[in-house]
Structures are given as structure tokens and as C-alpha cells.
Amino acid sequence: MSTIPSFGLGTFRLTGQVVVDSVRNGLELGYRCIDTAQIYGNETEVGQAIAESGVARNELFLTTKIWVDNYSKAKLIPSLKDSLAKLRTDQVDLTLVHWPAPDNGVALEEFMIALAEAKAAGYTRQIGISNFNIELTEQAISVVGKNEIATNQIELSPYLQNRKLVEFLQGQGIHVTSYMTLAYGKVLQDPVIGAIAKRHHATPAQAALAWALQLGYSVIPSSTKRDNLSSNLLAQQLKLTEDDMAQITALERNGREVNPAGLAPVWD
């Protein structure tokens, strides 16, 4: 059974002093789950911000993701050990394979076994997948078992609800982590979400995040602004009505923001 915090701090696209400040502010405001990845190029800065925060390591939940260049058996664990050194920790809480990358020459079976070995060796407490469709998730399950896959981290927002995939994951007991929950800020301009937010004296970001949380997903929004980091956290206290939820559900438009050629699967 996965034990993944429902609310975390994303660090995608944040580098240098910007990510140091964002993580530092987040930790000061009470965030305890930090999401990074090898390809973000910011693990060193995330590690620095954590070290300087004074927050005890056992209070934190740290996630990183293995980049596609490191999927082979020979590279996966060494690359994770490199990530651990940058993050200044002996173990992360969750390690994901970042994209299925069906054409990159490493079989799914090879990298899932290597990921399971990383867990067995104690480099990560849990393992999971990211950006996997139903078919590839089934393949991953056949290699390591569904109970070993803590989450599938997928792009998921009011504009891209991925219902078929979500239904499959929940049926398997695999936790859903939503990234890009605000669709690069696009949903913040949505009049329906704006009206719901107004009724609750909330921000549009809080309304969209609360929608995802009420569906049982984890969210990992990022921000460079301390006020937004603080405001986003309050989404956890916002309770939307059934009618609010239905109105947001009706916003589905298959509005995918991230779909890199060669890395992404054929989506369900």
C-alpha cells in the first residue's frame, strides 16, 4: 500500500537560486513533500535548500525520477546514487521512472527490475512510474507486481482528466499523482473555476487543487512566489460541493500540455 503525501511541492522548470528559494519558502510554510527529477537539473539545489532548512530528514518525503538515459541495468542504480549524493541523503522516499520511452532501446522489464533492485538495496523506500498508459502499467505490474508500484504520476487537470487511466489505476490499487494540475495556469482563467472559487472565497488555484484532492489524487504544484506557495496549501481545507465537482468534471477537453515525442506512450 502506498503512503504518498497528498500535497507536495513541485520543482519542474525551477533551477539555481530560484529553486533554492522556492524549496526554502515551501519548507518554512509547512510543505514536507518535495518532488524533483534528474532531468530538472536541480537536485543539488533542492538538497542544499533542505540541508539549510533545519527540517529533519525523517519529516520529509522526497521524490526523484530516473531519466531515460539511465534506464539500463548498468546505469539506473548508479544514477540514483548520484541523485542521493546531490540531495544529501542516503535514501529517497519514492523513485519513479520518468517516461516509458518505448523507443529508447531499454526494455521495460529491464528498468522495472533495476528499479525494484534499487528499492531492495535501500536506495529508495518506494518505487513507481510516471506517464505510463494502461498497457505499459500492466506490463510494469507483470514484472514487479501491482503492490510494488506506489504511484503513476501523470498529467492531470480539469482540462485533462484521464478518466480511463485513473479508473484502471484505482482498480489496481495504484495511487494517482497529478502533475500540471493547473495546466500551466490555463485553468486559473477558467470562468467556471473562477465562479466556484468566488463562492468559496478561495482562489482559482485552490479550487482546482481541491478538486484533485477530493478525487483522491496527490498534487505537487510549484511556485516561485511565497504567497502562492502559502495560498496553494490552503486548498487542503477547501471542501467543494458535489455540484462544484460536477461543474469542474464537465471542463474535460483532452487538453494535454506535455507530450514529448519518443518518450510519451500512445495515450488511452
pLDDT of residue 103: 87
Is 267 part of any domain? no
Is 218 part of any domain? no
List the CATH number of the domain containing 164: 3.20.20.100
Query: Which residues are within 8 A (CB) of 29 and not within 5 positions of it... i.e. 6 or more apart?
Result: 226, 229, 230, 233
Is 124 part of any domain? yes
Count of domains forming the chain: 1
Is 132 part of any domain? yes
Active-site residue, 159 included: no
Is 117 part of any domain? yes
Residues of the chain with pLDDT under 70: 1-2
Q: What is the per-residue pLDDT across 237-257, written as a single tens digit (0 to 9) for each?
A: 999 999 999 999 999 999 999
pLDDT of residue 226: 97
Active-site residue among 40, 123, 159, 179? 40
pLDDT of residue 3: 85
Is 75 part of any domain? yes
Is 187 part of any domain? no
- The domain of 116 spans 9-182
DSSP of the chain, one letter per residue? -----SB-EE-TT--HHHHHHHHHHHHHHT--EEE--GGGT-HHHHHHHHHHH---GGG-EEEEEE-GGG-SHHHHHHHHHHHHHHHT-S-EEEEEE----TTSS--HHHHHHHHHHHHHTTSEEEEEEES--HHHHHHHHHHH-GGGEEEEEEE-BTTB--HHHHHHHHHHTPEEEEESTTGGGGGGG-HHHHHHHHHTT--HHHHHHHHHHHTT-EE----S-HHHHHHHHGGGG----HHHHHHHHTT---------TTTS----
